[in-house]
Amino acid sequence: MEKILIKSSESIANHCSLRTGGIAKELFVPEDLDDLSSFLKHNTSPILILGLGSNILVRDSGFNGVVVKLNNLKHININNSIVKIGAGATLAKLSRLCEANKLYGAEFLSAIPGSVGGALAMNAGAFGSEFWDFVVNVTTVDKLGNIFQRNKSEFEIAYRSVSSNNNDEFFIEAELEFKQKKPTHNIKQLLEKRNKLQPIGLPSCGSVFKNPKNNFAAKLIEDSNLKGFCIGGACISNKHANFIINKDNASATDVENLIKHIQQTVKSNFCIDLETEVKII
Ligand SMILES: Cc1cc2nc3c(=O)[nH]c(=O)nc-3n(C[C@H](O)[C@H](O)[C@H](O)COP(=O)(O)OP(=O)(O)OC[C@H]3O[C@@H](n4cnc5c(N)ncnc54)[C@H](O)[C@@H]3O)c2cc1C
């Protein structure tokens, strides 16, 4: 288990699924909420919160502040249909625990390689379900270490987007409710489908672009004949055109240049602006 840890000059590539990115001035992994709160009370540096780093690209110039990883905040408490879960717990674990406790609806989470905190921030979704469909309320912490309970109604929730009047707070816990009487999906089948359609196992950040209204980013990229196209070590997957693979020691600049190339090509072919889903820091 990764206990409390402070490291300086840490490569972000070690902490994100694209396996590239610059250096963070510091990395902090609190052991628990008390650690996190007392750190925040004294901290004056910019903060980047990371879950599993499966949706993030940090530029080669790095991050001149503290990357805070919440993977030790992974407590889970199940009471009838209510699950209280720490932001650092993985979605795979949540999905497995729900299945074991006959709580249904969370099957789709088995296909998303993120943390609860990342899923809250992104409104992660797959196979027709989204994370916030199940949220009752959340616990957040602000940059001074103050803790708040926030109701779902305080957030504006949309496709891969969550915002509120308190955007400077980050998530430390979610209270979820699973009311369904039957599962929506069979997890084994979901994982088989995902493995068939996506380049699982290769370094990527999942879908790079959001789907535009009434369209699919992957289709627009494929119809632009860009499958397999590379810049430096970054390539568009032959399996799924909305995935960029770090094929050969890609720099973050390679990935970002490829993102811009895709956007320009799709714009000139179809007059459609592709908006990134991956968070570029
Ligand atoms: C192979 C693959 C498949 C994927 N498939 C899907 C999919 O089907 N559906 C989908 O939605 N996504 C998918 N993704 C993307 C990604 O897994 C999700 O966006 C996931 O929710 C990100 O979680 P994370 O913990 O890795 O977040 P990170 O990548 O660590 O962070 C993402 C963003 O959330 C912020 N954040 C993280 N934790 C917190 C917190 N506690 N409080 C506030 N902000 C926070 C970060 O600062 C960053 O801006 C896929 C990625 C990969 C690599």
Main-chain phi, psi angles of 280, to 5 degrees: -100, 125
The pLDDT value given to residue 4: 57
What is the spatial distance between Cα 213 and Cα 155, in angstroms, rounded to a whole number?
Answer: 22
Q: What domains does the chain contain, in order, with CATH numbers?
A: 5-69 (3.30.43.10), 76-177 (3.30.465.10), 199-280 (3.90.78.10)
The pLDDT value given to residue 5: 74
The pLDDT value given to residue 2: 46
CA 36 to chain centre: 20
Taking 50 as the pLDDT cut, the residues of the chain under it are: 1-3
The three-class DSSP label of residue 154 is helix
CA dist 203 → 17, 119, 230, 233 (Å): 5, 19, 14, 11
What is the spatial distance between Cα 167 and Cα 164, in angstroms, rounded to a whole number?
Answer: 6
Q: Catalytic site residue 59?
A: no
Query: Is any atom of ligand 1 closer than 6 Å to the C-beta of 126?
Result: yes
Length of the chain: 281
Beta strand spans in the chain (E)? 5-11, 23-29, 47-50, 56-57, 63-69, 76-79, 82-86, 125-126, 129-130, 135-141, 147-151, 155-158, 161-164, 170-177, 230-231, 234-236, 244-246, 279-280
Which residue minimizes the CA distance to atom 28 of ligand 1?
53
Q: Which residues of 171-198 are buried (b: 16+ CB within 10 A; e: fewer)?
A: bbbbbbebeeeeeebebeebbeebeeeb
Inter-residue contact 213 to 178 (CB < 8 Å):
no
Residue 95's nearest CA partner among 111, 81, 80 is 111
Burial of residue 18 (number of CB atoms within 10 Å: 0-12, 13-18, 19+): buried
Q: Catalytic site residue 163?
A: no
Residue 210's nearest CA partner among 198, 218, 202 is 218
Q: Which amino acid is at 240?
A: H
pLDDT digits (tens, 9 = 90+) for 4-62: 578 899 999 999 999 999 999 999 999 999 999 999 999 999 999 999 999 999 999 99
Q: Catalytic site residue 207?
A: yes
What is the spatial distance between Cα 114 and Cα 89, in angstroms, rounded to a whole number?
Answer: 9
Predicted TM-score of the model (pTM): 0.96
The three-class DSSP label of residue 229 is coil
Selected catalytic residue, list 54, 110, 204, 207: 207
Query: What is the distance in A from the centroid of ligand 1 to the CA of 137?
Result: 19
What is the spatial distance between Cα 112 and Cα 125, in angstroms, rounded to a whole number?
Answer: 8
pLDDT digits (tens, 9 = 90+) for 103-121: 999 999 999 999 999 999 9
